[in-house]
Amino acid sequence: MTARQLKAFSEVLDKNVRKKEKIFQIEGIHLVKEMIKNDQEPLWVVLTEDFANAQPDLLKKIKRRFPDRTFQATSHELRKLTDTEHPQGIVAAVQQRGTSVEAIVEANGPIVLLDEISDPGNLGTVIRTADWFGVSGLILSQNCVEFYNPKVVRASMGSVFRVRSAVASLTEVAAQCRKSGRMIVGSKAGAGRKKIGPGKIALIMGNESRGLSPEIEKQCDTLVGIPGSSPVESLNLAVACGILLYELTGGRS
């Protein structure tokens, strides 16, 4: 692996490069296995000698499928390709999955709209939860944390390969949802439990600390909450999303 290649590969850590080139980074044995399982083609794979020695079967599979895109690096070099403190010995770059807002809105299953979500771990867990419940796609507001942020990708545990996503103005998306016959359900603390679904539903989850913005709340056909018996102010966003998806999908994927 040359210094020129190392410098070029390290650009995947730059959000602007990821957006322009439509690529993202994965790290670790689990995500690499998920990449292969989901028939994704990496742009490149970089691994250390220690990883190669510890994972001979996986190494053989990678070299057989991607011989011209597999490179070996030192541990020092690999650290330049990841934002984690202790890299797991293997990193790859993958093409982002392109999906239109219209394709998500017109699908049959429930969809989730995310309004100003800021925490990468929360978004990654929401992606994984959406995958579990068979959600047709996620639509993020323009000021959400990036779907392909490395921390988001890691927290998704591979669901990033299966869950469709798009970024758009949620006000415009709400209008498209109504046109397609979707009921828009907003999550709001204190709104109370309501029996809704299953059906063509768009669930909107708001910011971790502020909840739904006023303009987005106005777009909702109804608001739902999750009753509790504790003085705790609110549930974690991803936990709340999972509970509501269980309710809205009738408890089945």
* Per-residue pLDDT tens over the stretch 37-82: 999 999 999 999 999 999 999 999 999 999 999 999 999 999 999 9
Assigned architecture for domain 3-95:
2-Layer Sandwich (3.30)
- The CATH 3.40.1280.10 domain(s) of the chain lie at 101-248
Residue 86 DSSP code: S
- The CATH 3.30.1330.30 domain(s) of the chain lie at 3-95
Closest CA relative to residue 12, chosen from 3, 45, 21: 21
- pLDDT tens digit string along 32-43? 999 999 999 999
- pLDDT tens digit string along 78-124? 999 999 989 999 999 999 988 999 999 999 999 999 999 999 999 99
Mean pLDDT across the chain? 93
> Which pLDDT score, from 0 to 100, does residue 253 have?
44
* Angstrom distances, CA of residue 25 to CA of 33, 77, 91: 14, 16, 7
Name the pTM for this structure: 0.93
* Topology annotation, domain 101-248: Alpha/beta knot (3.40.1280)
Residue 33 CB-density burial (10 A; 0-12 exposed, 13-18 middle, 19+ buried): middle
d(CA 251, CA 253): 7
> Which pLDDT score, from 0 to 100, does residue 230 have?
67
